[in-house]
Chain A
Amino acid sequence: MSQDMPFDLSLTEEQRMTRESLQRFAEKQIRPIARAADEAGAAAAGFYDSTVELGLTLLPIPEIHGGAGMPRDPMANVLAVEDLGHGDISLALGALAPLGVINALLDFASEAQQEAFLPRLAAERFVPAAVALMEGRATFEPSELTTRAVADADGYVISGEKRLVPFGADAELLLVIADLQGSGPAAFVVEKGAAGMSAQAADYMGLRALDTFTVSFDQVRVPALNRLENFDLQRLVDLSRLGVAALAVGCCQAVLDFSIPYVNERKAFGEPIAWRQSVAFMVANIGIELEAMRLLVWRAASRARDGLPFHREAYLARVLCADKAMEIGTNGIQLFGGAGFIRDYPLEMWYRNLRAVGVLEGSLMV
């Protein structure tokens, strides 16, 4: 539980150093390849492996399972997500999707389950893994799932369809959330190559650099061990909403950072457009709403870190971030005028990616 700490927004020395290196990575190794990846519909070969060096996935895995054994810290994760999101939302989501699974295992799996699955994710190379929660319905509600699981003699049988699943059948592990007959939503580890599982590539308005799939489960059998014992859907959803909101904060910061030099340099009527209030106020409002987004995310994440209830706080962060991400995304394009609409610039890509903030569920548990 929370000690009696002062209200404080300062980073620890360790956080400051981590942020610096993540920001450098985002700037040097994500941003320059983001557009090409968006156009190609895939990350460049070797990109995901290069993210393993950051150690984000290894950090929270206990030493006995091959990790560094650092404490679970949603707040630290939010900072990391924000920094990578500043580089590119799609690539950051791909790089961090396995961390979402690891965090879910740390929070919801028994000791035996952690021992069975965590070592597989603690590799030197990138191990694709993802949470499969979303389904194809306009009124989709994470607690009302059509994907079903039924208990049978030695395990469970899963049937249904999951959408917007990163990596699809290439994932080493998918954490599939399904309605377990008689007891509501449950989480099942489905391993690569499971019989009855098939994946179909699915493209979206944004997140194009991420390999996304519709995954079908036709009577897929998993052993009893694969059902996470202490699963808490609310927690998964809330912490994922924070992860996705943090991606939005990073990307909106990128919009602001990228727009400032442009409006200061771009001239119209003999002076920089930044000298016009209609332009300058738009920049000011991006800055103001970005601050609003960030603080709501940080508050919910720090509450989660301290074991305080944070459902309401995560909900509000999601609501504001989804709205403001769209506003900032579209205003970013507007500030650049025609150039914002041209694919040489990243603005339209950021806007398309930011659209996902209000859509994604379960994708990045921090």
Chain B
Amino acid sequence: MINLELPKKMLMVQQMSHQLASTVFRPISRKYDKIEHCDTPAELRSVAQMIAAVRPSQNKGKDKEQGAEDGIKNGANLTGIVGMEEMCWGDVGLMLSIPGTGLGNAAVMAVGTPEQKEQFGKLYCAMAITEPGAGSDSAAVSTSARLDGDEWVLNGEKIYCTAGQRCDAVVVWATLDKSKGKAAIKSFIVPRDNPGMTLVRVEDKMGLRISDTAALSLNDCRIPKANILGSAEVADTEEARKKAFGGVMQTFDNTRPQVAAMALGVARAALEITREILSKEGVKADFSKSLNNSTAIEAELYRMEADLDAARLMTYKAAWMADNRQPNSKEASMCKAKAGRVGNAITLKCVELCGELGYSEQFLLEKLARDSKIIDIFEGTQQIQQLIVARQLLGLSSRELK
């Protein structure tokens, strides 16, 4: 039955995450934006332990999370979204710096074998996809993997690897044979201290400063044969090729709503601060007058709230579909596109509406606007999401709609 309110169980997750975000993240938000480069902030160590303690362990319990009726589930995906928004309301950079919550962890949990989950699931796993010559076009990765006896040998350059400095292991995308395109791209788990993998640099960024973004170099980096995620076979028919790469891309159907939730948290924080600042000036958008009879500032606030709420519901929907095993590729991209762009628009508008206070480091508004920018870029840019949505709606292949 149609119901767009969260059940009590989710409200508890929301409350707990909010508590954490407001007591741990917010107070140190500006401090670490300034510090930028450092080891994992000490405050996050205990957070990581707490998260590990409440996280449902591996497989058990997952299928027990039933909804009240007709088997509809509000499970791990929706829980993740609800928690993510709250944490990022606190600070998105700090959230991304919590040990053990990397994108690599998501990949291991999504496609890893039970042994891999056991061995790497509890570590802090980063993901290295982007290369100097391959960004959105992730099928163009040229880092190579070659089997030599019982070991894979990796060679190549990786950039923009979130947590690449502080992580315990990196899930590295590499090709078994560049001439075979997408089908030959596989991912490999490389321990951070593995010989042959070196840290080249940690980037200086516009926002998201406390989250380390690393460039890594792989030079004859040898890892055990068992460290490949998924099958080592290179599909040779068109259908099998699609399926193989599709498996890799499927991870994104689960992670894109999570990234959308980051945008929601950051934007909501900006909007709340803005409302508070404006209310001191007597601006209160309290829904008492029609839009036509509202002031320009009130109308802006209403429009931002409408966009933000809509983006949130779209994100919930994508997660709900994943929890109920419905294919959600289109919805995952839709929510990422909507949340990413309204996140950018809202945070920047908040800076504008608050004038000098918005631009000042006295408040967090300018930081939230800087942090928000990357959310419409990583995990698939706005344009990539539109491309995916368009292909799905129009029934076009990636060859037809490039």
Contacts and interface: CB of A to CB of B under 8 A. Distances in A.
A308 B307 contact: no
Interface in B359-402: 383, 386-387, 389-391, 393-396, 400-402
Given A6-B74, A9-B317, A263-B394, A296 B1 contact: no
Contacts of A323: 303
Interface residues of B, number: 54
A295 B396 contact: no
A299 B313 contact: yes
Interface stretch (A163-171, A172-180, A282-290, A326-334): A282-290
Interface in A215-274: 256, 260, 263-264, 272, 274
B69 interface: yes
Contacts of A285: 386
B317 to A, nearest CB: 6
A313 to B, nearest CB: 8
Contacts of B72: 6, 8, 10
B290 interface: yes
B79 to A, nearest CB: 11
B401 A280 contact: yes
Interface stretch (B6-14, B133-141, B189-197, B236-244): B6-14
Contact of B5 (A7, A15, A315, A316): A7
B69 A5 contact: yes
A183 interface: no
Interface residues on A, range: 35 or more
Interface string B42-85: 00000000000000000000000001111011100010000000
B261 interface: no
Interface string B289-313: 1111100000000110111011101
B5 A292 contact: no
A244 B279 CA distance: 31
Nearest to B393: A287
Contact of B68 (A4, A11, A287): A4
A295 B5 contact: no
A284 B382 CA distance: 11
B264 to A, nearest CB: 13
Contact of B316 (A7, A264, A288): A7
Nearest to A75: B2
A178 to B, nearest CB: 19
A319 B306 contact: yes
A8 B68 CA distance: 10
A284 B390 contact: yes
Contacts of A10: 1-2, 70, 72
Interface in A306-321: 306, 308, 311-313, 315-320
Contact of A281 (B2, B73, B289, B390): B390
B268 interface: no
> Which of A140, A277, A317 counts the most chain B CB atoms within 10 A?
A277
B185 to A, nearest CB: 24
A303 B310 CA distance: 15
A69 B3 CA distance: 23
A298 interface: yes
B338 interface: yes
B337 interface: yes
A291 interface: yes
Contact of A6 (B3, B311, B317, B338): B3
A160 to B, nearest CB: 19
A287 B394 CA distance: 10
A12 to B, nearest CB: 6
B309 A283 contact: no
A40 B70 CA distance: 48
A296 B306 CA distance: 8
Contacts of B307: 292, 320
A204 interface: no
A296 B289 CA distance: 19
B320 interface: yes
Contact of B309 (A8, A281, A316): A316
A292 B339 CA distance: 10
Contacts of B390: 274, 277, 280-281, 283-284
A322 interface: yes
Contact of B314 (A2, A139, A292, A313): A292
B291 A319 contact: yes
Contact of A141 (B289, B303, B338): B289
Nearest to A274: B394
Contact of A7 (B3, B293, B387, B401): B3
A213 B37 CA distance: 69
> Which of B78, B306, B309, B396 counts the most chain A CB atoms within 10 A?
B306
A97 interface: no
B337 A275 contact: no
A3 B68 contact: yes
A293 interface: yes
Interface of B: 1-8, 10, 67-70, 72-74, 78, 287, 289-293, 302-303, 305-307, 309-311, 313-314, 316-317, 320, 330-331, 334, 337-338, 383, 386-387, 389-391, 393-396, 400-402
Given A142-B290, A284-B337, A293-B310, 6 more contacts: A6-B69, A11-B2, A138-B292, A281-B386, A284-B390, A292-B338
Q: When A and B form their complex, which 10 residue pairs have the shortest distance between CB atoms, in order from nearest? A: A6-B67, A292-B310, A280-B390, A295-B313, A299-B4, A284-B390, A320-B306, A284-B389, A316-B306, A284-B386
Interface of A: 2-12, 15, 75, 138-142, 256, 260, 263-264, 272, 274-275, 277, 280-281, 283-285, 287-289, 291-293, 295-296, 298-299, 302-303, 306, 308, 311-313, 315-320, 322-323, 358
23 contacts: A5-B1, A5-B68, A5-B69, A6-B73, A7-B3, A7-B78, A8-B2, A272-B400, A277-B390, A280-B396, A281-B387, A283-B394, A295-B4, A295-B313, A298-B2, A299-B5, A302-B4, A303-B4, A311-B287, A315-B302, A319-B302, A320-B303, A323-B303
